[in-house]
Amino acid sequence: MVVAEAPAQLPISPLLLRQARQRANLDLAEAAQRVSKLLKRERDEPVREEELRSWEQGDRQPSLAEAEALARAYFIPFVVLFDRELPPANITDFRRGPGGRRTPLSYETLEKMNRFAARLYLLAKRISAELGITEVVSVPVARLEDFRSAEDIEALAASVRSQLGVSDDEQISWRGDAEAFNAWRNSVEGTGVFVFSLSMSVLECRGASIWEAAGPPAVLVNSSDSATAQLFTLMHEFAHLMFSGREQNLTLCDPSGLTEAGEEWAANRFASAVLMPRSLVQGLVTRPVPSTFSQWPVSMKQHLRRSLNVSQAAIAIRLVELGIIGDAGRQTFWRRPGRPKVKNRPVWQRYRRYIGERAVGLVRQAVAADLVSPTDLSRILDVKVKDIEAMLEH
């Protein structure tokens, strides 16, 4: 008679398990559901709250399959489970939130951040290194301490705008916010930055960036945000990469007007000056205007918004910075965007926008060089192999 051996149990710190669950913003009931879902093929019965509690109290230890599911559910590397305590999160959090009240990251947003930093970014880093193309990065380096005044920021923005190759005439020629965002995204990706797009709660996070040692820089924009907000976030995160000195932790942001002196202030002023250069704004405001933005004719406001492809709130603040008006009035950066009218596009088209043209080109090279297969990409990106193949063919 053959007796089946019990699954080997692993010596994992109970304190670490509790810390990891709490960092993922899960109570015992929610954690049990998440872990059970990941263990459907390994267990006939779902994980109960009592089991999680027993692991966290040290009464028993999880098996290998259970430990792997815990690591995935809590967004930590498997090897971290064997530390005594959970290492500090390697995150710089600049978020302020509406009214200066920072909203805690929900499990769903943490999941998107994990997708950005632990899947998409690591894939880009690995492939870039294996293809030997990490040296093509040409993001300008700017020491934050050298940009203390508004004029310093103006000079930096003019220089970077020239490097990105965007002229005043070209910017005015773009038809709509989506075209403007795609054009700026292509310019930023031309410096070696990967620009990813994921849907998250706007109130929790509007963008992020990361640049690990020996890896490429990357930016994340929130596709749930308005197109104008996504564009401002893109340039704001690009500033963080410039100021980082080519090495930056995962940085979370929600660019808004509620910033004081420091890196966030500089990033906001830089994004504003790049997207609304002095020469272009002055060329668009060709006649005397009221000193208060709220008194401007609607037609003038709309003309500026359509020409610059940024929000009226950002325009009002920029007009004050340039001395064109004296009062921006009460502006808000936290309007919930309405549901965008999106055509029923094929999955491969949506994922192409999700990972960006630079990443598509990199993956195409990697597949051609047999460094990664469509099946591997299917598992990493959670999309069918046929859609991966379609994305790479077009």
In a domain, 282, yes or no: no
User: For every one of its 394 residues, what pLDDT tens digit does the chain have, with 9 covering 90 and above?
Assistant: 444 455 556 788 899 999 999 999 999 999 999 999 999 988 889 999 999 999 999 999 999 999 999 999 999 999 999 888 898 888 999 998 877 788 899 999 999 999 999 999 999 999 988 888 766 789 998 888 888 788 888 999 999 999 999 999 999 999 999 999 999 999 999 999 999 999 999 989 999 999 998 889 999 999 999 999 999 999 999 999 999 988 899 999 988 755 666 888 889 999 999 999 999 999 999 888 899 998 999 999 999 999 999 999 899 999 999 999 998 887 776 666 555 555 577 888 888 889 999 999 999 999 999 998 999 888 888 889 999 999 988 8
243 and 113, same domain (yes or no) = yes
Tokens in use for 33? 């559901």
The answer to whether the beta carbons of residues 272 and 234 sit under 8 Å apart is no
Q: Which of 35, 54, 86 is the last residue of a domain?
A: 86
Number of domains in the chain: 3
117 and 162, same domain (yes or no) = yes
158 and 36, same domain (yes or no) = no
The position carrying tokens 């940009």 is 147
170 and 233, same domain (yes or no) = yes
In a domain, 333, yes or no: no
187 and 245, same domain (yes or no) = yes
In a domain, 203, yes or no: yes
In a domain, 131, yes or no: yes
The answer to whether the beta carbons of residues 258 and 100 sit under 8 Å apart is yes
Prediction pTM value: 0.91
How large is the angle between the packed helices 385-393 and 347-368, nearest 10 degrees? Answer: 80
261 and 174, same domain (yes or no) = yes
Question: HEC string of the chain?
Answer: CCCCCCCCECCCCHHHHHHHHHHCCCCHHHHHHHHHHHCCCCCCCCCCHHHHHHHHHCCCCCEHHHHHHHHHHHCCCHHHHHCCCCCCCCEEECCCCHHHCCCCCCHHHHHHHHHHHHHHHHHHHHHHHHHCCHHHCCCCCCCHHHCCCHHHHHHHHHHHHHHHCCCHHHHHHCCCHHHHHHHHHHHHHCCCCEEEEECCCCCCCCEEEEECCCCCCEEEEECCCCHHHHHHHHHHHHHHHHHCCCCEEEEEECCCCCCCCCHHHHHHHHHHHHHCCHHHHHHHCCCCCCCEHHHCCHHHHHHHHHHHCCCHHHHHHHHHHCCCCCECCCCCCCCCCCCCCCCCCCHHHHHHHHHHHHHHHHHHHHHHCCCCCHHHHHHHHCCCHHHHHHHHHC
Domain range for 191: 107-275
Tokens in use for 137? 């990065």
> How many angstroms separate the first and last alpha carbons of the chain?
58
Tell me the sheet residues that pair with 288.
none
Q: What whole-number distance in Å separates Cα of residue 10 and Cα of residue 20?
A: 17
